[in-house]
Amino acid sequence: MIAAPIHIVGHRLMLCPSGVLLWPGERLMAVADLHLEKSSHFAARGRLLPPYDTRETLKKLSFVLRRYEPRHLVLLGDSFHDAEGHARLADDDRATLAALLAGLRVTWVLGNHDPAPPASLPGEAMEELALGPMRFRHIGGGPIARHREGEISGHYHPKASLETRAGRISRPCFLAGPQHVVLPAFGALTGGLDVRSPALAPLAHRQGRVFLLGKDRLHSAPVPFVVPESAPERERVDEGWPSFP
């Protein structure tokens, strides 16, 4: 996997195709929207989704933690799909998560899905983490207080589509601007919101860039090159072709 560097308010950050953001200067890794226990949340409401999402997400998290060995892990909110999510963790998943977090400084940024800190798990919980000029919060795009402040956020699950030779391809993506990065959702069952949607307008600057997640690397393009998601089967209108010579 090849991470791509990006500079936000003078600091060098790395965007990884797995969907995590690294701040090498701080040996920090940020990850957004794990939505752990989403399937059990749905199951309680009569939609019996495959109960493997937590396991999958943790496996993926374990891989990037081993690979990048950060000292500080920032979870950018909606780490659990709902406030009771951490209580529903299966025993083995809980043990896996605890082992992953052991020895790390862990910051749980609180999200709209999980407004309370997961009491049973290690780490500090807060609405917002300030580290140097960088602000880590769940929802970005509010007015930025100071000119030189950078903002790392999640919440929107951004995805984008690019026009390719063989039609449009849509992927989860990082959405970066001069002073901010919105991370894609990391959870196994988390869908996306198109960066062209009005909700993301304040963050999708014309000068911004999207970084679509690929298998091994990111595919980047300026925001104005993002196209609407591809349509299903289309009917074509093509009449009046010239006669055969």
Segment 206-235, which members bind other proteins (CB under 8 A)?
207-209, 211-212, 214-223, 225, 228-229, 231-235
Q: Could you tell me which of 64, 87, 78, 91 has the C-alpha nearest to residue 35? A: 78
49 token code pair = 């989704």
**d(Cα 112, Cα 116) in Å, to the nearest integer?**
9
Contact code string over 108-147 relative to other proteins, x by CB under 8 A: ----------------------------------------
163 token code pair = 């026009």
Stretch that binds other proteins, among 17-25, 98-106, 124-132, 134-142 (CB under 8 A): 17-25
CB of 33 to other proteins, least distance (A): 10
CB of 28 to other proteins, least distance (A): 10
Q: Does 14 bind other proteins (CB under 8 A)?
A: yes
CB of 123 to other proteins, least distance (A): 21
Q: Does 24 bind other proteins (CB under 8 A)?
A: yes
Among 79, 111, 194, 195, binds other proteins (CB under 8 A): 194
Nearer to other proteins, 44 or 126 (CB): 44
Q: Does 72 bind other proteins (CB under 8 A)?
A: no
- Give start and end residues of each alpha helix (H) in the chain: 38-43, 53-68, 85-88, 91-101
Look up residue 55 and give its DSSP letter: H
Do 177 and 208 contact (CB within 8 A), yes or no? yes
CA 53 → CA 29, 61, 118, 119, 245, distances in Å?
A: 21, 12, 18, 21, 59
Nearer to other proteins, 10 or 103 (CB): 10
DSSP three-state, residue 231 = coil
Rg (CA), the chain: 19
Which residues, 42 to 61, sit near other proteins by CB under 8 A? 42-53, 56
Give residue 80's identity as a one-letter amino acid code: F
CB of 122 to other proteins, least distance (A): 23
**d(Cα 58, Cα 5) in Å, to the nearest integer?**
25
Which residues, 154 to 183, sit near other proteins by CB under 8 A? 156-157, 162-167, 169, 171, 177-178
